[in-house]
Structure 1
Amino acid sequence: MLGILVFALLLLVLLIHGQELEHLEEHQNCNIDVFHAQDSVNGPILIDTSPLTPFESPRLSAVNYTAWEQWYFDSVAADGLSNTVITFFRDPTSHTGLGSLWVMHDAVWPNGTRSSIITYVDQAQIIQCPGYTYGLWNSSTRSTMFSFNVTSDLKQASISISTAKTKGSWDITTLGPARYPDGLLYPNPGASTLFVPMCWWVEAMPAGIVQTSFEIAGSKFAFTGYGGVDYFAGSYIWDYICRDWYWMRGVVGPYSIVFWKFTSAIDNNTYTSAFLVQDGSVLFSTQNSENILATNPLAAYAKLTLLYGGKVSASMGANDTGYTLDFVEGTKHGGRSWHFDLQHENIGYQTDADINDMYTRFADSATGGQKGRNEYIGAMNSEQILVKVVYPIP
């Protein structure tokens, strides 16, 4: 009976995504994890930190009062004027009483109009098959369904949404290889999935070409642009483990860019992860910040500088209006360097003023390239968070 139910569920998913029915036989050898909104445990849980675990797999053994995991799909229009982010949560930390399973869909139109919809669901499934992984967050009684499909080679992904407020799809084709926060490429048994203390991160698609089309509360929302696919997990929410961070991802001409600078509240150290790809080939990957020059003047490093005086800034926290990113290869590795300028064009999402972690997401226009060579134009998503008061670990 269980086998019949699993097969029926797979059939439903395949119909949603328009798969060919004559290939159903090959989808029966799949593993399925089922989660329910009110499932939780008291006490510690385990996290799978193996670098060889498929990137879209759930890694928490259960959910408790503090730990969380999320599947993150972001995108920005090619002109940098709008963006949309869809996040699938297995996260009880909102403490609403509505459970640990929810999806957040944020969007900003070019004119600055914003939408942010949080939908709690009754159950979720992660279905892992030889050629793909499906995620399903749904409530059958409310005809609510969110699904994602990531191919096992981590080259393509798609999302389908069908709710009372939103209907549409999101598709991405990667521009570079999957990677770990330490810069190694997947799969690598020697890599680490830990980015900072108590926070794990892997990138199935560091950057790619995105096509998105939705109807949100009766309004059309669509663009072609850039985005990526990430997985995150944490022992505690940002208020406990972070002082501030700056994160960005996008495409400028032939370059795909990822950067994250994170100041930990656990050890007060600043961690950096920078990744630069040109036409599918990795140019630059480092965890070093500019501080490395104090001990190794020949080393590669990445540097973030805040810009001011532009037209859009967060209404709380830092009042920057953009960033510059510098990737410096170091004379030991060839001496090349790349420079990129980002200008905030719109605010895609920001937390309320009374929230302890002041978070803002921007849609940015971008320019840059290798110093001394051609300059290109593009677009990036960027995010920043400043924690007002760091809470002590219980």
Structure 2
Amino acid sequence: MILLFWEALEFLLLFQSFEVESICFTKTVGAYQTVKSPIWCSQNPYRSFERSKFSGVNDTAIEKWYFEAVSEAGDAFIVSLGRDPSYKPFGFGVIPFEMMFVFANGTRHAMSDFASESRIRDCCGEVDLKVQGSRLKFAGTGGHFHDFAAFDWFTLLDSWRNMRAIIGPYAFSLCIPVSRIAGRIVYPSGVLYKDGKPMLEVYGLDNDTLLASNRLLIHPHFDGTFTGGLGDTSSSWIVEFAEPASSRRWRFTSKHQALVHELGLGSGSGLSVFTDLIEGGELNSWQHSGYGISEQITAPKSIGPSVAWELFKTHRNNTGSTTWQAVWNMFCAACRDGALTVSWIMFRNGWTVEFNKVS
């Protein structure tokens, strides 16, 4: 296994001057450095959005940084760096490094590896990502987001849709999750930009019965020619932003161009990521053409044997392991985790073990 080291992730947050801190902050976590107890989570809205939100890694909380880019021709990549305990049963620790690439001709490649150590360094300076000393560069448009949650996505969400796109002078970024723990309530959020400046923001519960707040809606449609292989057979999306205060509306129609990544989780559920061709703009005004990257997922109701098998196969293939190597790593992970659990229980309860020499 190639050991990847995150040399540095230096992020810049310039939204407010009081967010810049004069002292650098570094948080280092080892591949098997987990705790069997609750951890602290920052809920301070003025804390840098890029900074790690957790004091450590336990068995439930997840945290990931995503970077993606797409070209007008349809080439794309997604890189994710994480501190994710859901990977622990596979035997490589909790610091996954994942890359997915797609070329305009439809050729795809995915790779997963695991770092021996991760270090996030925040000095309020440039973005710089290195893999074994080489910088990753890509010509096109891209974005970045930071996810963190107290539990895994299967526990929290029924489904979600993400999209990032640039269409002439417009650009937008959106995320529409559907809560599993709050009775399928929709929490749309998105920002519409023009000429690089935000012009309309949408966030919060989708429960405005008077339709007085800014609106963000997504409608799947089937007019395109390319679909994924899962239960959602839509070939494209219609994305609408609305500002009731000014009676202005913007509509963008996408068509899936190529499949970046797909993971089936049984009964039609799973994850699909596409590159898209997009047209649109403000209604009754000039329309533009562009491109973007979209993600849609329907989470399974539970993680049964079929879902576990699909996850196992994907992990095995992306790490380049044989089936027996993957099984052995999982066995070693179970033994390692069992030993850590026993140690934690002993120290938590103040147990001591004495060894006496027998003469």
TM-score w.r.t. the length of structure 2 is: 0.74
Gaps of 5+ in 2: 10-21, 304-359
Write the letter of the residue equivalent to 2:240. Answer: D
Task: Give the equivalent residue in structure 2 for 1:339.
Answer: 251
Q: Which of 41, 53, 58 is the aligned partner of 2:35?
A: 41
Task: Give the equivalent residue in structure 1 for 2:182.
Answer: 267
CA displacement 1:251-309 (0-9 Å, x = unmatched):
111111012111100012111002101112221111267752xx213332111100114
Q: Which has the higher helix share?
A: 2
Mapping of residues 17-28 of structure 1, within 5 Å: none
Task: Give the equivalent residue in structure 1 for 2:299.
Answer: 387
Task: Give the equivalent residue in structure 2 for 1:161.
Answer: 131
- Residue 67 of structure 1: how far off its partner (Å): 1.0
SS in structure 1 of the partner of residue 279 of structure 2: strand
Mapping of residues 187-336 of structure 1, within 5 Å: 212=138, 224-268=139-183, 269-287=185-203, 292=208, 295-330=209-244, 333-336=245-248
Task: Give the equivalent residue in structure 2 for 1:375.
Answer: 287
Distance across 2 between alignment mates of 1:106 and 1:388: 22
Task: Judge conservation of contact 1:289–1:303 (CA < 8 Å) in 2.
Answer: no
Task: Judge conservation of contact 1:31–1:128 (CA < 8 Å) in 2.
Answer: yes
Write the letter of the residue equivalent to 1:322. Answer: S
Task: Judge conservation of contact 1:356–1:389 (CA < 8 Å) in 2.
Answer: no
- Between 1:349-358 and 1:359-368, the stretch displaced more is 349-358
Q: Which has the higher contact order (CA 8 A, sep 6+)?
A: 2
Distance across 2 between alignment mates of 1:290 and 1:72: 26
Q: Which of 115, 118, 126 is the aligned partner of 2:112?
A: 118
Task: Judge conservation of contact 1:32–1:125 (CA < 8 Å) in 2.
Answer: yes
Task: Judge conservation of contact 1:347–1:360 (CA < 8 Å) in 2.
Answer: yes
- Residue 239 of structure 1: how far off its partner (Å): 1.1
Task: Judge conservation of contact 2:190–2:202 (CA < 8 Å) in 1.
Answer: yes
Pair 1:119–1:47, CA change in 2 (3 A) = same
Distance across 2 between alignment mates of 1:119 and 1:334: 49
Q: Which of 48, 56, 62 is the aligned partner of 1:62?
A: 56
- Residue 356 of structure 1: how far off its partner (Å): 9.2
Task: Judge conservation of contact 2:230–2:269 (CA < 8 Å) in 1.
Answer: no
Pair 1:13–1:258, CA change in 2 (3 A) = closer
Pair 1:32–1:383, CA change in 2 (3 A) = same
SS in structure 1 of the partner of residue 231 of structure 2: coil
When Rg is computed on C-alpha atoms for both structures, the one with the higher figure is 2
CA displacement 1:132-167 (0-9 Å, x = unmatched):
2xxxxxxxxxxxxxxxxxx3xxxxx3422238xxx5
Write the letter of the residue equivalent to 1:83. Answer: A
Are positions 1:89 and 2:5 aligned together? no
Aligned length: 285
SS in structure 2 of the partner of residue 121 of structure 1: strand
TM-score w.r.t. the length of structure 1 is: 0.68
CA displacement 1:54-93 (0-9 Å, x = unmatched):
12211111111111101111111123x2210111111111
Write the letter of the residue equivalent to 1:229. Answer: H
Write the letter of the residue equivalent to 1:115. Answer: H
Pair 1:357–1:159, CA change in 2 (3 A) = farther
Task: Judge conservation of contact 1:35–1:123 (CA < 8 Å) in 2.
Answer: yes
SS in structure 2 of the partner of residue 304 of structure 1: strand
Distance across 2 between alignment mates of 1:29 and 1:287: 32
Task: List structure 1 runs of 4+ shifted beyond 2 angstroms.
Answer: 28-31, 157-163, 287-292, 297-300, 352-357
Distance across 1 between alignment mates of 2:211 and 2:26: 50
- Percent of pairs with identical residues: 24
SS in structure 1 of the partner of residue 39 of structure 2: coil
Q: Which has the higher strand share?
A: 1
Task: Judge conservation of contact 2:81–2:98 (CA < 8 Å) in 1.
Answer: yes
Distance across 1 between alignment mates of 2:268 and 2:58: 22
Distance across 2 between alignment mates of 1:168 and 1:100: 23
Distance across 1 between alignment mates of 2:119 and 2:268: 32
Write the letter of the residue equivalent to 1:362. Answer: F
Pair 1:315–1:104, CA change in 2 (3 A) = same
Task: Judge conservation of contact 1:290–1:303 (CA < 8 Å) in 2.
Answer: no
Gaps of 5+ in 1: 1-8, 15-27, 133-150, 152-156, 171-211, 213-223
